[in-house]
Structure 1
Amino acid sequence: MWRLDAQDLGDADADLTAALTYKNGNAVYALTPVERAAIHAVYALYEVMLGQPAPGLRPVALDAARQFMHDAYSQVQIGGRLEDLRARILASTQACPYCGFGEVKDLDHYLPRGTYGELAIYPRNLVPSCGPCNNAKRTVYPGMPAAQGPGLVHAYYQPLPDEDFLHADADFDPDGTLSVTFRIDNPTMDPALAAKLQFQLDRLRLNARYRAQVNKYLSEQRAAILMLHAAGEAVFSEFLQRSSAALIASYGRNDWRVALLRTLAADPAFCAAPERYLGPPPA
């Protein structure tokens, strides 16, 4: 969750040509040398700005070509002339970077192509994502007019501190009901970054969507949880702590699973009676 390695750019000039040329060789739109150079300048500026909005990303030189670039994204879809680009980006991760669990099927335009048509096929503006995250994000981006919040972090560019900032609050009732809520909290973090991360949690409705994932994940760990709990509460708590630490290598220290197990390890009620939630061990 949160970060991915930046996409390999491949041959951006060849992608431009393929996107704007029919298979029979006729031009969908014939870029002038000035327009082609302007697109490459936009790509270079995108790198400098780390994917954040800037006036230079919509140059006047591309006013005539912008809509054609916008429409060229159709060639990134299955069966299109750039379908290999789509396949390569989708294959770059096994889970959606926005939520950390969703199956990657969509490409999200970090800066929406409705505004930034020039970037419609630029690999580093295309973030592999799951359908729910892509639909919830929609056209939200930093600095958008009438934005309801600060936008989402850029999965390729946003530097994040190597500190715990995703925390889980657990409420374990005597009847065995487990409620978990995730939040962003780190006193040393830049407040603007903290606000963006919290906005991402809220905008993508992750707390509501994590409920099923928490149940599924803990149910999958049921045998190990009940076996270790039988060894005593102290051993069980240490097991959860060590499991949380071990997951960091696979998912990062601010993955929801890491935060979940870290919190459960410190919850006396859960450590005393996990069988209330998972059911009793087999006889």
Structure 2
Amino acid sequence: MKRLHPPLIQATDTVHACAAGITIADRAQALMDALPAIQRSEAEYLELGATGQLYRITPSDSVTPAIDATLMGVIYKSHFARQGSPSRTLYDQIRMAPEFGICPLCGQRNVATVDHYLPQTRFPTLNLTPINLIPACSDCNKKKLASVPTSAENQTFHPYFDELSNERWLIAEIQPSAPPTVSFEIRPAGTWDAVMTARVRNHFLVMGLEELYIAQAASEMADISYALEDIGAATGPDGVRLHLNSQFRSRHAHNPNSWKTALYEGLRDSDWFCAEGHRLIRNRSQINTMGVAQPAL
């Protein structure tokens, strides 16, 4: 979950670019005629988004009498997002904004698409509004689907508006088992209020981030198991802890709340893992995607 700078382009830019690529004259004119309504929706979005109140925007089934939600969806897909269209460069400008091309909604997978924070089918006036368009991986886009927030608490994270703080809030817990089991939880940052805490937890649930991070953590531990065994054999628990702390500090410097930062912090702070658990990673069991040990077949 990473903050992004809001797009520098506005709805006026995307509407003009799309209209320039539409060869059906009546459709192009209808889109241009809809620009004032689209601009009003953009202004409302910017005002409510800044205060975490996008759930207050009323859904609709049309932009103007001449453009309903279905036609607006066609304009988005066939003109704004289509390869080779005059507006495709604006689409790509939004899609490629995240650092290293990593999805800001999960912080793990590669961006592959652009997600409508408020969905196309329910908010057609926002279909071409850049501030409503979030670069995302395919999995996050699919998990969110066309869900519409109905309260402040059940809104998901919005990368253009929400600042989650660099204070540590993603925590990994290590449970003694063979192999070790990892779980992730949210520890509210001191700057969060109750609404932000509920929103982050809702985002984790909707996007399935705990399951994703558990699977990635299991793979990461398998990757480092041989090195930890060598370090433990040579220098004991203190040497293992020192190595894990170095890994934690490196990841914390880049992203204080990545799953890797949380994992290495949790491993470092577990006396059991530093003394014994690191030798149990290569157990004759398999770790399923929920982080639960299962007997090998």
Place the TM-score, normalised by the shorter chain, in its bin.
Answer: 0.7 to 0.9
Does 2:153 correspond to 1:154?
no
Change in Cα spacing, 1:216 to 1:63, as seen in structure 2 (3 Å) is: farther
| Contact persistence 2:61–2:121 (CA under 8 A) | no
Residue 37 of structure 2 corresponds to residue 38 of structure 1 = yes
Name the amino acid aligned to 2:38.
Answer: I
Kindly tell me: are residues 5 and 226 of structure 1, through their superposed partners in 2, closer, same or farther at Cα, counting changes over 3 Å? farther
Q: Report the alpha carbon displacement of residue 268 of structure 1 after superposing the two structures with TM.
A: 1.7
35 and 191 in structure 1: CA distance in 2 versus 1, 3 angstrom threshold: same
Matches within 5 A, 1:84-233: 84-93=89-98, 94-143=101-150, 150-173=154-177, 176-186=178-188, 188=190, 189-222=192-225, 224-229=227-232, 230-233=234-237
CA RMSD of aligned residues (A): 2.9
Q: For residues 108-142 of structure 1, what are the alpha-carbon distances to aligned partners after superposition, in whole Å with 9 as ceiling and x for unaligned?
A: 11111111111112222111111121111112243
Closer/same/farther in 2, CA of residues 16 and 22 from structure 1, 3 Å limit:
same
1:248 matched to 2:252: yes
SS in 1 for 2:49: coil
Q: How many residues align?
A: 272
Give the AA of the match of 1:70.
Answer: G
Quote the Cα distance in structure 2 between the aligned partners of 1:50 and 1:63. 27
Structure 1 unaligned blocks of 5 or more: none
Secondary structure of residue in 1 paired with 2:263? helix
Q: Is the 8 Å Cα contact of residues 50 and 157 (structure 1) preserved in structure 2?
A: yes
Partner SS for 2:166: coil
> Closer, same or farther in 2 for the Cα pair 1:26/1:210, shift >3 Å?
same
Deviations 1:198-254 (A, max 9, x none): 11111222222223211233344446544543333123213322322321232x222
TM-score when scaled to structure 1?
A: 0.83
Change beyond 3 A, Cα 1:243–1:130? same
Query: Quick one: which amino acid aligns to residue 34 of structure 2?
Result: E
Q: Residues 15-54 of structure 1: matches in 2 within 5 Å?
A: 15-24=14-23, 26-31=25-30, 35-50=34-49, 52-54=54-56
Distance 1:63 1:227 in 2: 71
- Counterpart residue type for residue 4 of structure 1: L
TM-score of the superposed pair, with normalisation by structure 2: 0.79
- Tell me the alpha carbon deviations over residues 80-117 of structure 1, each in whole angstroms, 9 at most, x when there is no partner: 52322232222212211121111211211111111111
Hey, what's the Cα distance between the residues in 1 that align with 2:63 and 2:82? 31
Partners of 1:42 and 1:56 within 8 A in 2: no
SS of the equivalent of 1:186 reads: coil
**Counterpart Cα distance in 2 of 1:122 and 1:32:** 13
Letter in 1 for 2:8: D
Amino acid of the structure 1 residue aligned with 2:48: M
Cα distance in 1, alignment partners of residues 32 and 137 from structure 2: 37
CA contact (8 A) 1:226 1:275 kept: yes
Contact 2:61 2:123 in 1 (8 A): no
* 1:135–1:16 CA distance, 2 compared to 1 (3 A): same
Given that residues 244 and 265 in structure 2 are in contact (C-alpha distance below 8 angstroms), is that contact kept between their aligned partners in structure 1? yes
Matched, 1:6 2:6: yes
Letter of the 2:88 partner, please give it.
E
Following the alignment from structure 2 to structure 1, what is the Cα–Cα distance between the partners of residues 22 and 64?
24
